Structure 1
Amino acid sequence: MPDTLPPALSMSSALRENIEALSAREREAHANAPFSHRIADKVTAFTGSMTFVVIHLVLFGFWILANTVGIPGVPKFDESLVVLAMEASVEAIFLSTFVLISQNRMAERQNRSADLDLHINLLAEHELTRVAMLLERIARKLDVTVDDLELAEIEADVEPEDVLDALEERQGD
Structure 2
Amino acid sequence: MVRPGNKPASHGQCCVCGRSLPAGSLHPVAMLGQQLLGYLSDNQAADPSAMICAEDRSRLRMKLVHDLLLREQGELADDAREVLASLDREGELISRDSYGDFDASLSLGQRIADRVADFGGSWAFIIMFLIILGTWIIINSIHLLKHPFDPFPYILLNLLLSCVAALQAPVIMMSQNRKEARDRMRSENDYRVNLKAELEIRSLQAKLDILISHQWQRLLEIQEIQTQMLDELAGQQSKGNAGH
TM range (shorter): 0.5 to 0.7
The residue that corresponds to 2:97 in the other structure is 22
- Gapped runs of 5+ residues in structure 2? 1-92, 217-244
Asked if the contact 1:78–1:84 (Cα under 8 Å) also holds between the matched residues in 2, the reply is no
Instruction: Give, in whole Å, the separation in 1 of the partners of 2:146 and 2:190.
Output: 60
Deviation at 1:59, TM superposition (A): 1.1
1:6-37 deviations in Å (ceiling 9; x for gaps): xxxxxxxxxxxx7xx738x82x7545522221
The residue that corresponds to 2:174 in the other structure is 101
1:29-82 deviations in Å (ceiling 9; x for gaps): 5455222212212322333344322321111012233445x2544655231234
Q: How does 1:12-161 map to 2 (within 5 A)?
A: 22=97, 26=100, 30-68=103-141, 70-73=142-145, 75-76=147-148, 77-142=150-215
Asked if the contact 2:113–2:174 (Cα under 8 Å) also holds between the matched residues in 1, the reply is yes
| 113-122 or 92-101: bigger deviation | 92-101
Instruction: Give, in whole Å, the separation in 2 of the partners of 1:29 and 1:123.
Output: 22
Residues 127 and 32 of structure 1: CA distance in aligned 2, closer, same or farther (over 3 Å): closer
- Bigger Rg, which one: 2
Greater per-residue helix proportion: 1
Give the secondary-structure state (helix, strand or coil) at the position aligned to 1:41: helix
Deviation at 1:84, TM superposition (A): 2.2
Q: Number of residue pairs matched?
A: 121
| 39-48 or 84-93: bigger deviation | 39-48
Instruction: Give, in whole Å, the separation in 2 of the partners of 1:116 and 1:42.
Output: 25
Instruction: Give, in whole Å, the separation in 1 of the partners of 2:104 and 2:196.
Output: 31
Normalised by the length of structure 2, the TM-score is 0.42
**Aligned-CA RMSD value:** 2.9
Instruction: Give, in whole Å, the separation in 1 of the partners of 2:179 and 2:132.
Output: 31
- Gapped runs of 5+ residues in structure 1? 1-17, 144-173
Q: Percent identity between the aligned chains? A: 26
Give the secondary-structure state (helix, strand or coil) at the position aligned to 1:79: coil
Greater per-residue strand proportion: 2
Deviation at 1:102, TM superposition (A): 1.6
